[in-house]
Structure 1
Amino acid sequence: MPEKVHEPIAPLVICETDPRANLSDVERAMYKEVLEHFSDPAYCIPTLENGELTEAEQFWLSRECLLRYLRATKWKSGTAAIQRLESTLKWRREYGLYDAVSASHVEPEAVTGKQVLFGYDVRGRPGLYLFPSRQNTEEPVRQIQFTVWMLERTVDLMGPGVETLALLINYGDKAKNPSLSVARTVLNILQDHYPERLGAALILNVPFLLNAFYKLINPFIDPVSREKMKFNPRVIEDKLFTPDMVMSEWWGGDSDFEYVHEKYWPALVDMCESRRKTWLEKWRALGGKVGIKEWDYKGGASAQTIDSEKVAEVPAGTEVAPAVTVA
């Protein structure tokens, strides 16, 4: 029998070329407009007291971040992207992402393993598993904060050249249906403040009542995101994941994962904190300002060669994340 796995998988470098390197002349002009707006030494976030950008906020405003918001506004104008970015900057500060929404605050939500980060799909996107049947609390505010905290950790585990995640939801084992208000709040946060982050939503075992629930929330889901949803996929056969990168139970992979909070939680927290610390140090060394490439501070320029067997399994140019189990 395979040895049980209790911890997340550590990411490695997964991309050989910067996938966001080239812009058209029009796109370059819009990007320059947005970059100059937030790079102004006198800039302050509108309507906020002490609205000067903190180091953490300047770090968040990477080149890729600005481009994500430009893409999210469909390159309508630099002004449109600036407005959305400022809305998110204000929300991130007021929501408490830099202080109040901490690992210790949300940990009571994590003890049953109802959300787990584990493995990478064939495009190098981290897999975020949701198990609604493991719901253990009745406090919707902290439940939503936990979801946001896990989204932030998913971003921490994205390698150079990767900007999206793979969401894997299993409604088996008598899953509990979230309220419509909670679902709408989460969807609004995702659409407003995490644009261009969902790569795929893979959903298993949707019962009749949940089908009805999805029909209720469907009008609130962005059409682009809706197209990324796949129901009852076979992730190995469909070549979405390699067997070593996906859980065996329900999903058919080779990893016999078992959630043990005392092992998993500190490993995840330590891994993410270590990565953020390393990236921040590199970002400072690169000048510590708005618009620095995630590609550069994540080490994309020194990407290692991808394993030839994995390359053969996926389309040319696709990023692949090798598996490394944390000791």
Structure 2
Amino acid sequence: MSIFRRRGTSQKQQEQEPPELKSESKVNELKAALGPLTGRNSLYCTDACLRRYLEARNWNVDKAKKMLEETLAWRSTYKPEEIRWHEVAVEGETGKLFRANFRDRVGRTVLVLKPGLQNTKSMDNQIKHLVYLMENAMLNLPEGQEEMAWLIDFTGWSFSTNVPVRTARDTINILQDHYPQRLAVAFLYAPPRIFEAFWKIVKYFMDPKTFQKVKFVYPKNQESVELMRSFFDVDNLPTEFGGKATMKYDHEDFSRLMAQDDVKAAKFWGFDEKTAPAASVCAAPAAVAPEPTKPIGQTNECAVVS
């Protein structure tokens, strides 16, 4: 009986272990399970990265290991860190997806999506463009931040500009499986009624954690508007999303900034800056230049972080 009591006491002590100690213990356990890592994998698999995979799998080491190994296999073939801006720049010409020059209230990087401005037909390139911007957004996360926010403007959206369900599913799978715990919140601003039919299908591809981070905002619904404003300063928030700032996307300015970021990413991964492909950061957030005190041209004109 005393043996069973000691085991029970030990289990209870583990359950009462402080979260930070439990986290460190699980990270070390996952490290041991993965074994020695080399090259880009060793850069990718920082403690912060391992922690995200553990969180995504409810701290189950075996499941987190499987998920992470699948990501490493995907990255070895898809090579997101080797995507250069010039390869996807055509996708960004209309400003359908870009990194904003403002952050949310806690300093997270913001991606702005405008699906109504779809300008290409290649679904593979569209996904590649999104992956590039995800990696770029992570490169520009301030120290101590692991997640980003999405703002989705449905102006001009229709079924003719919508992505096929299969592409939506593939995109969701990439984001969930290979970028866990990177999304803090996604605001879908004023989606039209016809979007609801599409949403009913694609939401089944989302895991519960991702689904809970998606928020619908309707301008006439004060509760949803207030929720959004709890995440963003109304003075920084563009008018398209119910704020007071003017936002104008300038493709040439954005392209110059992406070229600069390609150099930063290449430096992180140890590539030759002159010949190396653009790169990504899953590891600890890289240092970034401070936000501009004056937006280029006019308030939020360039809509990018300098």
The TM-score range, normalised by the shorter chain, is 0.7 to 0.9
Match in the other structure for 1:114:
96
Match in the other structure for 2:230:
239
Which amino acid in 1 is paired with 2:132?
A: W
**Aligned equivalents of 2:78, 2:228: Cα separation in 1:** 40
User: Could you say if the C-alpha distance between residues 122 and 279 of structure 1 is closer, same or farther in structure 2, counting changes exceeding 3 Å?
Assistant: farther
Which amino acid in 2 is paired with 1:117?
A: R
The partner residue of 2:49 within 65, 76, 92 is 65
Deviations 1:149-202 (A, max 9, x none): 111111111111111111111111244221101100001101111111110010
**Aligned equivalents of 1:104, 1:293: Cα separation in 2:** 24
The partner residue of 2:23 within 10, 27, 34 is 27
User: Could you say if the C-alpha distance between residues 268 and 34 of structure 1 is closer, same or farther in structure 2, counting changes exceeding 3 Å?
Assistant: same
Which amino acid in 2 is paired with 1:35?
A: K
For residue 203 of structure 1, report the CA deviation from its aligned partner. 0.7
Q: Which has the higher helix share?
A: 2
Matched, 1:205 2:190: yes
Which amino acid in 1 is paired with 2:25?
A: A
Which amino acid in 2 is paired with 1:116?
A: F
TM-score (norm 2): 0.76
Higher Cα radius of gyration: 2
Identity, in percent, stands at 28
**Aligned equivalents of 1:34, 1:86: Cα separation in 2:** 11
For residue 61 of structure 1, report the CA deviation from its aligned partner. 1.0
SS at structure 2 position matched to 1:27: helix
SS at structure 2 position matched to 1:238: helix
Structure with the bigger RCO (C-alpha within 8 Å, sep 6+) is 1
CA contact (8 A) 1:235 1:251 kept: no
Match in the other structure for 1:9:
none
Segments of structure 2 that go 5 or more residues without pairing to the other structure are 1-17, 218-223, 271-281, 296-304
Which amino acid in 2 is paired with 1:273?
A: D
Equivalence map 1:1-327=2 (5 Å): 23-38=19-34, 40=36, 43=37, 53-54=38-39, 56-76=40-60, 78-99=61-82, 101-118=83-100, 119-175=102-158, 176-232=161-217, 233-234=224-225, 238-248=229-239, 250-270=240-260, 272-273=261-262, 275-276=264-265, 294=284, 298=287, 324=293, 325=295
For residue 31 of structure 1, report the CA deviation from its aligned partner. 1.2
User: Could you say if the C-alpha distance between residues 114 and 294 of structure 1 is closer, same or farther in structure 2, counting changes exceeding 3 Å?
Assistant: same
SS at structure 1 position matched to 2:230: coil
Which amino acid in 1 is paired with 2:124?
A: V
**Aligned equivalents of 1:192, 1:154: Cα separation in 2:** 17
For residue 23 of structure 1, report the CA deviation from its aligned partner. 4.3
**Aligned equivalents of 2:283, 2:91: Cα separation in 1:** 33
SS at structure 2 position matched to 1:199: strand
Which amino acid in 1 is paired with 2:197?
A: A
Segments of structure 1 that go 5 or more residues without pairing to the other structure are 1-21, 44-52, 282-291, 300-320
User: Could you say if the C-alpha distance between residues 31 and 260 of structure 1 is closer, same or farther in structure 2, counting changes exceeding 3 Å?
Assistant: same
SS at structure 1 position matched to 2:248: coil
For residue 323 of structure 1, report the CA deviation from its aligned partner. 5.5
Aligned positions, number: 258
**Aligned equivalents of 1:247, 1:87: Cα separation in 2:** 38
For residue 25 of structure 1, report the CA deviation from its aligned partner. 4.3
When the two chains are superposed, the root-mean-square deviation of aligned CA atoms in Å is 2.7
CA contact (8 A) 2:85 2:255 kept: no
SS at structure 2 position matched to 1:98: helix
SS at structure 2 position matched to 1:129: strand
